Amino acid sequence: MPDSQPNNPLHGITLATIVEELEAHYGWDGLAERIDINCFKSDPSLKSSLKFLRKTPWARSKVEALYIATFSKQNPWGGH
C-alpha cells in the first residue's frame, strides 16, 4: 500500500490537532453549535473530546468534515 495520500486533505494531521485548531477557531460553544455532541457542550476539554471521538466514528467524521470545510485550501466555497 502506498504511503502517499495526495487526495486526502487530512493525511498527516492528528485528531488532536484537528480538535485543537477547530477549538481555537470556533471555541467550544461554536463547535457545539456546529456539531451537536455532548463532548463539546458539557464541560468540554481536549482529552474528553478525543476519547469520545476515537470511539464514535460518526462524530469523528463530522469533526473531520468541519475541519476540511473550515481550513482546506481546496474548499470551493471560500473557506479559510
Q: Where are the domains of the chain?
A: 15-71
The Cα–Cα gap between 11 and 37 comes to: 25
pLDDT in tens, 25-68: 999 999 999 999 999 999 999 999 999 999 999 999 999 999 99
Instruction: Please give the model's pTM, rounded to 2 decimal places.
Output: 0.81
Q: At what angle do helices 57-71 and 46-55 cross, to 10 degrees?
A: 120
Give the Cα separation of 39 and 41 in Å (integer): 6
Distance CA 51, CA 71 (A): 23
Q: How far is CA 73 from CA 54, 69, 80, in A?
A: 26, 9, 7
Tell the CATH superfamily of the 15-71 domain: SAP domain (1.10.720.30)
Q: Residue 77 carries which side chain, given as an amino acid letter?
A: W
